[in-house]
């Protein structure tokens, strides 16, 4: 059995919008926003932003959400989410069993280098217990946990309809509560008073800047993953080969402007949540559909046909986010997942068909690899599998290799039964970690650790206060929800007083 197919989009021809992006809404529509002194202006319309807006409107009346994207693209990276990780002392039909604060915090400590600010991370973990109830109160409905390689039924709660439905629920609830959402309205700057208080948010329009008066600001505009020039500062030309899983509008313009105004930095500039995605995926916005979960049940080789990391080091929800960085370090920023017929049913199928052949040599040739080298790598792997191991895809089974470098610690299946398959992998960035330094009140801090008077941050733009080099599935939404509520509450209270 042999199949082949076009290579698809392996180039990086697409480009993000210009930076900063001018508003495409009409100048008249933007000027209409300038006729009101808003109690709270929220920049962004993803999970963190909408949670902040919904919380703020419980205290104040005039809340404005600025979304630079058109309405059909609203929601930032939230559109591509499907679950949230929260601690819970009792289980239910949606998250059976218990998942304590201590266990969740231990899981968070176990990924990458652990939390940047452990106290803030533990605070977020504790607050996560209250998030599911809040979400349900604001229109979110739940569904049974999904099956697949990311087995999260005890730790993560899945919302019905995925991220797009979540954004739609929140946006509808916000509009019914009187919150104004302005689309194609790109914030580009801030006007500050002498006490580092933002008095106006500046929008770019075809007729020039439009100043929007406000008493408080919540910045929830995401990271800078769609800004290739910024990525190249830290990753060099390798960034040209990265794919961006989410919105093309996250270019970091608000982050950059606040840093220019003296905001402090939190997080590693090279840090990001990045996973293995299909190398044929689009440059932007491929979302969850392009994620590949074959790694634990395969071997992964670089373009020289050599393995470079332990594919079975830990359960996939704790390990999947390390593979984006591992691939980024390979020549050409590309890798290949090699597996056979017995492994194919064990993971979610890929969006694009795998290269398939009757032999390892044949499928390697179809994938553009040196067939002799890949055949030798597969043979070496097979020869070092511990014959006493008992394969169990549902747990850390210890079914690994002996005397092989790098080892495979779990799920070491011999690659021997046709048809053989190869999936090409690239680094798919979800979001960058470097962002604005904040405190437990979500106040943006300056380089000396002093808070701006009325500027708050939530979501990916401040995730670097917690995330360092690893990622725990569903925890980005947790950070956005916890600090979105705090930012909205604090901004509203500041405005009211």
Query: What's the pLDDT at 148?
Result: 53
The alpha carbon of 76 is separated from its chain's Cα centroid by a whole number of angstroms, namely: 10
pLDDT of residue 144: 85
pLDDT in tens, 124-178: 999 999 999 999 999 899 998 766 545 678 899 999 999 999 999 999 999 999 9
What is the pLDDT, as a whole number, of residue 17?
Answer: 47
Q: What is the pLDDT of residue 23?
A: 65
Complete DSSP assignment for 166-206: HHHHHHHHHHHTT-EEEES--EEEEEE-TTS-EEEEEEEET
Name the 3-class secondary structure at 97: coil
* Cα gap 232→222, rounded to integer Å: 18
Domains of the chain, by residue range, sit at 27-269+433-496, 273-428
Looking at the whole model, is its pTM more than 0.85?
A: yes
Per DSSP (E only), the strands in 100-237 are 142-143, 156-159, 180-183, 187-192, 198-205, 208-213, 217-219
DSSP code of residue 289: G
In the CATH scheme, what is the code of domain 27-269+433-496? 3.50.50.60
Name the stretches of the chain with pLDDT < 70: 1-24, 146-151, 317
Per-residue CA distances from 224 to 209, 290, 315, 398, 444 (Å)? 23, 20, 29, 39, 18
* Topology at the third CATH level for domain 273-428: Flavocytochrome C3; Chain A, domain 1 (3.90.700)
* Strands 265-266 and 435-436, bridge-based pairing: antiparallel
Nearest to 314 by CA among 84, 113, 111, 147: 111
What is the pLDDT at residue 112?
78
In the prediction, which pLDDT does 149 show? Answer: 47
pLDDT in tens, 59-83: 999 999 999 999 999 999 999 999 9
Q: In this predicted structure, what is the pLDDT of residue 146?
A: 63
């Amino acid at each position: 059995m042999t199949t082949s197919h076009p290579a698809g989009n392996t180039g990086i021809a697409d480009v993000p919008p210009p930076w900063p992006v001018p508003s495409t809404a009409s100048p008249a529509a933007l000027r209409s926003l300038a006729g009101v002194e808003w109690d709270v202006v929220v920049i962004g319309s993803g999970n963190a932003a909408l949670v902040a807006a919904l919380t703020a409107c419980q205290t104040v009346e005039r809340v404005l959400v600025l979304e630079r994207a058109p309405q059909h693209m609203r929601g930032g990276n939230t559109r591509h989410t499907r679950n949230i990780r929260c601690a819970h002392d009792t289980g239910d039909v949606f998250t059976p069993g218990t998942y304590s604060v201590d266990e969740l915090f231990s899981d968070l400590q176990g990924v990458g280098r652990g939390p940047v600010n452990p106290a803030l991370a533990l605070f977020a973990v504790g607050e996560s217990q209250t998030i599911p109830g809040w979400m349900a109160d604001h229109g979110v409905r739940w569904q049974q946990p999904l099956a697949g390689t990311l087995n999260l039924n005890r730790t993560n709660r899945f919302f019905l309809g995925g991220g797009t439905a979540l954004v739609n629920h929140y946006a509808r609830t916000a509009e019914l509560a009187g919150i104004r959402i302005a689309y194609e309205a790109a914030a580009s700057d801030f006007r500050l008073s002498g006490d580092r208080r933002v008095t106006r948010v500046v929008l770019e329009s075809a007729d020039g800047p439009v100043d929007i008066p406000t008493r408080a600001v919540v910045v929830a505009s995401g990271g800078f993953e769609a800004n290739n020039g910024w990525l190249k500062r830290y990753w060099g030309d390798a960034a040209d080969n990265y794919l961006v899983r989410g919105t093309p509008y996250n270019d970091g313009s608000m982050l950059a402007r606040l840093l220019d105004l003296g905001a402090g930095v939190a997080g590693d500039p090279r840090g990001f949540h990045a996973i293995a995605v299909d190398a044929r995926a689009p440059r932007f916005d491929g979302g969850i559909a392009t994620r590949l979960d074959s790694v634990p049940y395969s071997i992964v080789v670089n373009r020289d046909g050599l393995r470079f990391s332990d594919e079975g080091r830990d359960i996939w929800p704790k390990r999947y986010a390390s593979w984006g960085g591992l691939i980024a370090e390979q020549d050409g920023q590309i890798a290949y997942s090699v597996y056979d017929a017995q492994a194919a049913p064990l993971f979610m199928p890929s969006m694009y068909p795998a290269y398939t052949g009757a032999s390892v040599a044949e499928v390697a040739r179809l994938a553009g690899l040196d067939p002799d080298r890949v055949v030798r790598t597969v043979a070496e792997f097979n020869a070092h599998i511990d014959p006493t191991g008992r394969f169990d895809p549902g747990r850390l089974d210890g079914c690994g290799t002996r005397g092989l470098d790098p080892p495979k610690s779990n799920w070491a299946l011999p690659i021997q039964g046709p048809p053989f398959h190869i999936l090409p992998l690239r680094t798919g960035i979800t979001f960058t970690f470097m962002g604005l330094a904040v405190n437990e009140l979500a106040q943006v801090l300056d380089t000396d650790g002093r808070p701006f008077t009325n500027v708050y941050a939530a979501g990916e733009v401040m995730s670097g206060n917690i995330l360092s080099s690893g990622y725990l599935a569903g925890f980005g939404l947790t950070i956005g929800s916890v600090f979105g509520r705090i930012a909205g509450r604090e901004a509203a209270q500041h405005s009211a007083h």
